[in-house]
Chain A
Amino acid sequence: MRKTLALIYRELVAYFSSPLAWVVLTAFLFFNGYVFWLITAYLNDPRTQAMTPLKLFFGGTIFFWLFLLFVVPVITMRLLAEERRSGTLEVLLTAPVSEGQVVMGKFLAAFIFYLFLWLPTVVYVVILKQYAAIDLYKVASGYLGIALLGVLFAAVGLFTSAFTRNQIVAAIFAFAVLVVLFSVGLMEQLTTNPALKGVLGYMNLWDHMDDFARGLVDTRRIVYQLSLAGLFLFLTVKVVEAWKWR
């Protein structure tokens, strides 16, 4: 446990001492601020149907997804690729820590950084609360949905980072995998086969987020995202173990 904590701590030092993290953080806030403004402006138009702004904010717009698909690979690309490129991996894998601990430490660090990105958006909730009644349960479930997406996306990003020494390649690979994961669910709309529709619907991340934003915490959604994340983390451990056998 202490070893994993040490690994997490090191990754967080690396995050917050690199300019990239601050650029990502700034861009993320700027972008989300803009989207928040767009949503409130849109909903203030008397012609639009009544909706709660936070429902739109939590995954109800394409902006949310575009940015998330892009930003998580940037967070995770460094994790294993840089370790291999610089050779620090040799020290890490000859220390008495298991590959699983290494992967877990890095994953948790990326996840914590991801949560940190979202932390300032709590301000939006506070602002809205000045003007309207807000169901805090829905807010909580919305953030739960965001956290679950973070678990899944960070696991995918870490997985791709294990494949290469080049951070950019890792990021692009992660982006590609995430786009596939995201769009597979959307194909639900394109099929008429009821069985296939059911399967794709189960994997529809947009609907997942929509449910959470509406305050609907569905264990099927949680199971899907956590088990998929678990699969990617397991595969990452296997890839790290396989480095030795190259």
Chain B
Amino acid sequence: MIQVEGLTKRFVTRNVVDRVSFFVPEGEVLGFLGPNGAGKTTTMRMITGFLPATAGTVRVAGIDLDRDPLGVRSQIGYLPENVALYPEMRVAEYLRYRAALEGVPRAEVKKRLAEVSERCMVGEVLRQLIGTLSKGYRQRVGLAAALIHRPRVLILDEPTVGLDPRQIVKIRELIVELGRDHTVILSTHILPEVEQVCRRVLIIDDGRLVADGTPDELRGAATGTAELQVELEAPQADAQVALAALPGVAKVSSQGNGRFRISQDGANDLRREVFRLAVEKGWTLLELRQTTPSLEDVFLRLTMRDTTAPAAAEEEEVHA
């Protein structure tokens, strides 16, 4: 659906986006993840045709952006980062204006207006001036306007920034729902958002694509395998030696008070071995838990430039 190849944007002497290539099949919700200033917005602006690329090609629904920019634009519903709207217009007026700009047939406008206002839950503010709306409503009006021409592709630039937690949940639910019948690219620097909403994640840092995969794949690729968190009532030194001697254990780090963190060699589940060891030695097992690295760990690891050791080795439970 969206084919991006070698996309590059050069500002003066720096490549803000550097040879980014990816493909988004129809119906996928793609998370575009990266720290602030990584080049997310610039990449999205190039896909929408707002910024010309220094090099590379963009194809949306088989249409080449260079050949037919207006054709590509009509396939895309775009919600820019700051959701700029005209404060002096009423919501319904604005949506009708956008419908006309997008070339929605005149006879269809009324139907579409009802459709998007129901979907984005802006029905109750249709007659209100945009300038008087809360940030959450503005976001939804912007989204409704981006949907009015039934685009096949939705590009949302940080759609939940500046919203309160309840609104964030609502917008995320809406995006998940939209993902059922749209191809969506969503940029964010909020990690749980990606985990909840996206089937696939691209991580971009300093203009370069550093990772591409499902959240699970990225987590797996980051540390190879899971780690074990163990707490025992046992002599510290004995326990550490005994644990390290277990087959398949790569490294045991003591965290004091009988707490250990065990890195595994392979993909084997070591929990049984640890349990048996404890029984054998007569130690009381207080905690035994397998931890997988969170996307946050992956993200920090990939986007940190002084990579001596990933600082985010804190255990973090994963809400799958």
Residues on A facing B (Cβ under 8 Å): 2-3, 5-7, 9-10, 13-14, 17-18, 86-98, 244-245
What are the residues of chain B within 8 A of A90 when measuring CB–CB? 45, 50, 78, 80, 84
Residues on B facing A (Cβ under 8 Å): 45, 48-52, 70-71, 73-74, 76, 78, 80, 82, 84-86, 88-89, 93, 97-98, 100-103, 106, 145
Q: Name the distance in Å between A10's Cβ and chain B's nearest Cβ.
A: 5
What are the residues of chain B within 8 A of A10 when measuring CB–CB? 86, 89, 97
Chain B: which residue is nearest A14 at the CB level? B88
A91 touches B78 (CB 8 A): yes
Chain A: which residue is nearest B78 at the CB level? A94
What are the residues of chain A within 8 A of B74 when measuring CB–CB? 96
Q: Name the distance in Å between A189's Cβ and chain B's nearest Cβ.
A: 46
What are the residues of chain A within 8 A of B45 when measuring CB–CB? 90
Which residue of A17, A93, A94 contacts B76 across the interface (Cβ within 8 Å)?
Answer: A94
Which residue of B80, B84, B93, B98 contacts A13 across the interface (Cβ within 8 Å)?
Answer: B93
Q: Name the distance in Å between B120's Cβ and chain A's nearest Cβ.
A: 16
What are 28 of the A-B contact pairs (CB < 8 Å)? A2-B106, A3-B103, A6-B97, A6-B100, A6-B101, A10-B97, A13-B88, A13-B89, A13-B93, A14-B89, A17-B88, A86-B84, A88-B84, A88-B86, A90-B45, A91-B78, A92-B101, A94-B50, A94-B76, A94-B80, A95-B102, A96-B73, A96-B102, A96-B103, A97-B70, A98-B70, A244-B50, A244-B52
Chain A: which residue is nearest B103 at the CB level? A96
A94 touches B100 (CB 8 A): no
Chain B: which residue is nearest A9 at the CB level? B97
A2 touches B100 (CB 8 A): yes
A17 to B88, CA, bound (A): 6
Main secondary structure of the interface of A (DSSP, over half): helix
Q: A2-B106, A13-B93 are in contact. Are A245 and B52 (CB under 8 A)?
A: yes
What are the residues of chain A within 8 A of B86 when measuring CB–CB? 10, 13-14, 88
What are the residues of chain B within 8 A of A7 when measuring CB–CB? 101
Q: Name the distance in Å between B266's Cβ and chain A's nearest Cβ.
A: 50
What are the residues of chain A within 8 A of B82 when measuring CB–CB? 87
A245 to B50, CA, bound (A): 10
Interface centre among B73, B74, B86, B98 (most CB of A within 10 A): B86
B78 touches A88 (CB 8 A): no
A3 to B98, CA, bound (A): 9
A116 to B192, CA, bound (A): 54
A245 to B53, CA, bound (A): 9
A94 to B103, CA, bound (A): 13
What are the residues of chain A within 8 A of B80 when measuring CB–CB? 87, 90-91, 94
Q: Name the distance in Å between A116's Cβ and chain B's nearest Cβ.
A: 17
Top 3 nearest A-B pairs (CB, nearest first) are: A6-B100, A87-B84, A96-B74
A3 touches B48 (CB 8 A): no
What are the residues of chain A within 8 A of B106 when measuring CB–CB? 2
Q: Name the distance in Å between B86's Cβ and chain A's nearest Cβ.
A: 6
Q: A13-B88, A88-B86 are in contact. Are A95 and B101 (CB under 8 A)?
A: yes
Chain A: which residue is nearest B73 at the CB level? A96
Chain B: which residue is nearest A6 at the CB level? B100
A61 to B49, CA, bound (A): 50
Chain A: which residue is nearest B106 at the CB level? A2
A96 touches B88 (CB 8 A): no
A14 to B88, CA, bound (A): 6
A93 to B45, CA, bound (A): 11
